Copies of this chain bind each other. A is one copy, B any other.
Amino acid sequence: MLNRVRSAVAHLVSSGGAPPPRPKSPDLPNAPSAQTAAPPEAPRSPPARAGSSAPAKTVEARASFSRPTFLQLSPGGLRRADDHAGRAVQSPPDTGRRLPWSTGYAEVINAGKSRHNEDQACCEVVYVEGRKSVSGVPREPSQGQGLCFYYWGLFDGHAGGGAAEMASRLLHRHIREQLKDLVEILQDPSPPPLCLPSTPGAPGSSDASHLVGPQSCCSSQKEVTHESLVVGAIENAFQFMDEQMARERRGHQVEGGCCALVVVYLLGKVYVANAGDSRAIIVRNGEIIPMSREFTPETERQRLQLLGFLKPELLGGEFTHLEFPRRIQPKELGQRMLYRDQNMTGWAYKKIELEDLRFPLVCGEGKKARVMATIGVTRGLGDHNLKVCSSTLPIKPFLSCFPEVRVYDLTQYEHCPDDVLVLGTDGLWDVTSDCEVAATVDRVLSAYEPNDASRYTALAQALVLGARGIPRDRGWRLPNNKLGSGDDISVFVIPLGGPGSYS
């Protein structure tokens, strides 16, 4: 993902400031894989947010390079996983405990673009114990059953691996913390209470007698679903994770940022939350169902431009919020150039004025699109230190930590063992189309017995291999001789055909 953050056009941006600290990848000696569990969390309330608290203690200073614990890598295995020349595909060992649901996983390091693999992954079963008496009514001994959720996360780091590693160790704990208030509510089939008492024993206030008069447009109460509470919990967990990174970035190795693609399975539904340019699709009976969309300078152009327009101070006098189809030359002043502003999807001509010579906030196309000439993804976690090169202008205000969450109801369809949810970092999707993934799903799974639990790992490996290619003609090449992905590649294959039997 390193190529998604670049500052090569610094000389094009007028600025007189001294070179600021620039995000860089950690370049540290190898260390054993982090197989120890993260420290137990202690609640910690950030200011001005109720019903939520930071779930995890500060992450310990980690200068070490690590891979997901479920890979169970020995020191020798870790060295092989870190070898850019061999680019060996890594998967959990075929012996011992499988991942939940017999999930398949495979990864491979990049071809040399960054020192270490900056992708990280996490797969956990998380138990959520409810807070006592959320509803204000003392619980019966028989009550108080907690909730379990299944969790998968892919984190594609950039400008260092610290943010991705921190997110892989802590984001599910933030989700658990957000769900703690909801344990009773989600298990109660009646609609969620709109209002909860502040203290146990205080009367609830979800009855309609408190409503304002019927003449108000707010006279009715909105229906809020259980599902939307889970979505809100995941959204807020992303924000708390990002805030924790901001707090702890100085004392620890939380350099750079990361895209986050997360799946939560809870009470029959699959929640796919995406912030960045990783992607998820369901392949069901050969049909492709997109479960995410990418957040890039191109897909979020209008949001970015609007922010620059409403808060011009964020542009630092160096950038213009207008988009132009190419950089304007000073000698073109007074001529008329095509442009788009934040309200437009079409293009029109405008007379070039002095401030149009500033660098455009959003520029480039496809994989080369950038915000402030620097970063190629517009959502994710971290990046609190990211500045425009040769400037002290922060880029973080333009980045959003909020995911888009899509919900898939597993109970609405009878899934077979060949139906899978595939998660991949952009290393997969840059060179593999949805249809090619679906074809690989069909080809690999049909070669295994439906009840062979290793088939999903084999599929993940096939997808990673298919995106990496083989070394030939001074590069990693695909069978069609095109270049394979030189990026880190990570893939989860989550079978949908039998959560009940796997869980």
Residues of chain A having any CB pair with chain B under 8 Å: 6, 8-9, 12, 48-52, 178, 181, 192, 194-198, 202, 205, 210-212, 215-218, 220-224, 227-236, 239, 306-307, 310-311, 324-329, 332, 334-338, 340, 343-353, 359-360, 363-365, 368-370, 373, 400, 402, 404-405
Report Cα–Cα, A205/B334, bound state, in Å. 12
Q: Which of B202, B239, B351 contacts A50 (CB 8 A)?
A: B351
Minimum CB–CB distance from A277 to chain B (whole Å) comes to 16
Q: Which residues of B contact A235 (CB under 8 A)?
A: 343-346, 348
Nearest 10 A-B pairs (CB), nearest first? A50-B351, A231-B346, A232-B346, A222-B325, A217-B364, A232-B348, A221-B326, A343-B402, A51-B349, A218-B363
Q: Which residues of B contact A192 (CB under 8 A)?
A: 338, 347
Interchain CB contact under 8 A, B327 and A224 = no
Interchain CB contact under 8 A, A349 and B181 = yes
Report Cα–Cα, A52/B350, bound state, in Å. 8
Q: Which residues of B contact A336 (CB under 8 A)?
A: 50-51, 195-198
Interchain CB contact under 8 A, A400 and B218 = no
Q: A325-B224, A326-B220 are in contact. Are A347 and B9 (CB under 8 A)?
A: no
Interchain CB contact under 8 A, A221 and B325 = yes
Q: Which residues of B contact A326 (CB under 8 A)?
A: 194, 210-212, 218, 220-222
Report Cα–Cα, A50/B336, bound state, in Å. 8
Minimum CB–CB distance from A58 to chain B (whole Å) comes to 24
Can you list 29 A-B contacts (CB < 8 A)? A9-B212, A9-B217, A9-B218, A12-B218, A48-B353, A51-B350, A181-B349, A192-B347, A194-B326, A194-B337, A195-B335, A196-B337, A196-B349, A197-B336, A205-B332, A211-B326, A212-B327, A218-B364, A220-B326, A224-B325, A229-B347, A231-B347, A232-B346, A232-B348, A235-B346, A235-B348, A307-B310, A310-B310, A343-B402
Q: Which residues of B contact A328 (CB under 8 A)?
A: 195
> How many chain copies?
2
Minimum CB–CB distance from A133 to chain B (whole Å) comes to 13
Interchain CB contact under 8 A, A217 and B348 = no
Minimum CB–CB distance from A349 to chain B (whole Å) comes to 4
Minimum CB–CB distance from A291 to chain B (whole Å) comes to 15
Q: Which of B48, B217, B329, B405 contacts A368 (CB 8 A)?
A: B217
Q: Which residues of B contact A368 (CB under 8 A)?
A: 217, 220
Interchain CB contact under 8 A, B198 and A51 = no
Q: A326-B220, A327-B211 are in contact. Are A230 and B51 (CB under 8 A)?
A: no
Interchain CB contact under 8 A, A402 and B344 = yes
Q: Which residues of B contact A216 (CB under 8 A)?
A: 8-9, 12, 327, 363, 373
Q: Which residues of B contact A334 (CB under 8 A)?
A: 198
Report Cα–Cα, A9/B220, bound state, in Å. 13
Closest to A136 in B: B335
Minimum CB–CB distance from A235 to chain B (whole Å) comes to 5
Minimum CB–CB distance from A367 to chain B (whole Å) comes to 10
Minimum CB–CB distance from A135 to chain B (whole Å) comes to 11
Minimum CB–CB distance from A313 to chain B (whole Å) comes to 12
Q: Which residues of B contact A12 (CB under 8 A)?
A: 212, 216, 218
Report Cα–Cα, A359/B216, bound state, in Å. 11
Report Cα–Cα, A347/B370, bound state, in Å. 32
Q: Which of B48, B218, B346, B349 contacts A405 (CB 8 A)?
A: B346
- Name 20 extra pairs, CB < 8 A, besides A195-B352, A235-B343: A49-B350, A50-B350, A195-B332, A195-B337, A205-B329, A205-B332, A210-B329, A216-B373, A217-B364, A218-B326, A218-B364, A220-B326, A222-B365, A227-B346, A232-B340, A232-B348, A235-B348, A236-B344, A236-B348, A345-B405
Interchain CB contact under 8 A, A370 and B217 = yes
Report Cα–Cα, A9/B216, bound state, in Å. 5
Interchain CB contact under 8 A, A365 and B220 = yes
Report Cα–Cα, A402/B194, bound state, in Å. 35
Report Cα–Cα, A359/B205, bound state, in Å. 19
Minimum CB–CB distance from A183 to chain B (whole Å) comes to 13
Q: Which of B220, B229, B325, B329 contacts A348 (CB 8 A)?
A: B229
Interchain CB contact under 8 A, A343 and B233 = no
Minimum CB–CB distance from A51 to chain B (whole Å) comes to 4
Report Cα–Cα, A209/B235, bound state, in Å. 47
Minimum CB–CB distance from A197 to chain B (whole Å) comes to 6
